[in-house]
Amino acid sequence: MRILVVGAGAVGGYFGARLVQAGRDVDFLVRPARAEALRERGLVLRDPDGAEETVHVDTVTADRVGPDYDLVIVAVKSYAFDPALEDLAPAVGPKTVVLPFLNGMSHIDTLVDRFGAERVYGGVAMVMTRLGENGEIVQIGPLAELIHGPVAPDPVVAPEQVREALDTGRFDSRPTDRAVQELWDKWVLLASLGACTCLMRGTIGEINRAPGGAAFTRAVLAESCAIAAASGYPIAEETRARTEKIVGSTRAPTTTSMYWDLTHGNPVEDEHIVGDLVRRGGELGVPTPLLEVARTHLAVYSAQRQGS
């Protein structure tokens, strides 16, 4: 199976490198400057203990990509999704499926509209990585899992083929027949954590230890769960119990990548993660006062960062 990985950042770079190490036929679709850097230095992976390894990878740029791939893995930040979609479109042939690992749901809607549901998989990436100052992939924890499955009953590439391609033993790979529900499950968790930590500028443990903090985090999670249920994807009791434990922890130093970006002056995925959830809640008549405050807070940050 020929695989195209769109993006060589913290998620795409990590999983793509592991696929290369397992002998898979992988190209990275990147910008010319990133392609040149990867040709010169390769992809550098740094584990939690600080040990580094270099993986030499093949790259392709948008002007040279063609419909020769069976699987297109999309691993970019949501604010880079639209240009990435235009770059990857020529790679999608009649027997190609696109497997995105973005948070939220709007990218799935866009891909289905563009390529048809039979060419779209849903994917959830669980990994603790960041992009270092020199483009290296820094792993800050042991978690590394991909969850993947088709969003339509008859995909043009069978789930067994995708499972075989991703099941390398170098990270956990779990196929699912409920990919959209998995996406909602993660979205509820991530949006709740992101809204809480970004609005309060602290870890989830710090928030829950503060006066009124536990009631605040419970209320934010309740809003997120209500939107999921109204959308037809209620969070199962066992999953919700796990989510409540994470969001309600009084000790965990848990934050999110959005909090990291916010506190380091980087662009944030505010509209894709929080804004779209609020929008869907409004359309369905679900009250979301706390999520709306978080959305406004993040929008002000984004506007200030852009100087507008």
Coil, helix or strand at residue 197: helix
* Predicted confidence (pLDDT) per residue in 136-172, tens digit: 999 988 889 999 999 999 999 999 999 999 999 999 9
**Amino acid letter, residue 124:** V
Domain 182-306 has CATH 3.30.1310.10: no
In angstroms, the Cα distances linking 277 to 65, 189, 220, 291 are: 34, 12, 12, 8
- The architecture of the domain spanning 2-177 is 3-Layer(aba) Sandwich (3.40)
Dihedral angle over CA of 242, 245, 247, 249, nearest 10: -150
Percent of the chain with pLDDT over 90: 93
pLDDT in the model for residue 78: 92
Closest CA to 258 of 297, 209, 215: 297
* Predicted confidence (pLDDT) per residue in 184-239, tens digit: 999 999 999 999 999 999 999 999 999 999 999 999 999 999 999 999 999 999 99
Please state, in angstroms and rounded to a whole number, the distance separating the CA atoms of residues 75 and 16.
10
Residue showing tokens 């500028």: 201
Q: Kind and range of the H or E element at 193?
A: helix 179-200
User: Max Cα separation, the chain?
Assistant: 57
Please state, in angstroms and rounded to a whole number, the distance separating the CA atoms of residues 40 and 86.
26
**Per the structure block, which two tokens stand in for 81?**
């999704």
Measured on CA atoms in the order 219, 225, 230, 231, is the torsion positive or negative?
positive
What is the full DSSP assignment across 169-189?
Answer: SSSEEEE-S-HHHHHHHHHHH
pLDDT in the model for residue 308: 60
Contact 129, 140 (CB under 8 A): yes
Domain extents for the chain? 2-177, 182-306
**Per the structure block, which two tokens stand in for 269?**
């995925």
* Predicted confidence (pLDDT) per residue in 63-107, tens digit: 999 999 999 999 999 999 999 999 999 999 999 999 999 999 999
Contact 115, 92 (CB under 8 A): yes
Contact 201, 255 (CB under 8 A): no
Summary mean pLDDT of the chain: 95
**Per the structure block, which two tokens stand in for 186?**
């993660």
Please state, in angstroms and rounded to a whole number, the distance separating the CA atoms of residues 197 and 191.
10
Contact 295, 278 (CB under 8 A): yes
Please state, in angstroms and rounded to a whole number, the distance separating the CA atoms of residues 44 and 35.
14
Please state, in angstroms and rounded to a whole number, the distance separating the CA atoms of residues 29 and 96.
15
* Predicted TM-score (pTM) of this structure: 0.92
In angstroms, the Cα distances linking 159 to 61, 131, 147 are: 28, 30, 12
Q: Averaged over 114-118, what is the pLDDT? A: 97
Query: Which string of b and e fits 10-30 if b means at least 16 CB within 10 Å?
Result: bbbbbbbbbbbeeebebbbbb
pLDDT-derived band at 307, boundaries 50, 70, 90:
confident
C-alpha 59: how far from chain center: 22
172: number of Cβ within 10 Å: 14
* Predicted confidence (pLDDT) per residue in 18-68, tens digit: 999 999 999 999 999 999 999 999 999 999 999 999 999 999 999 999 999
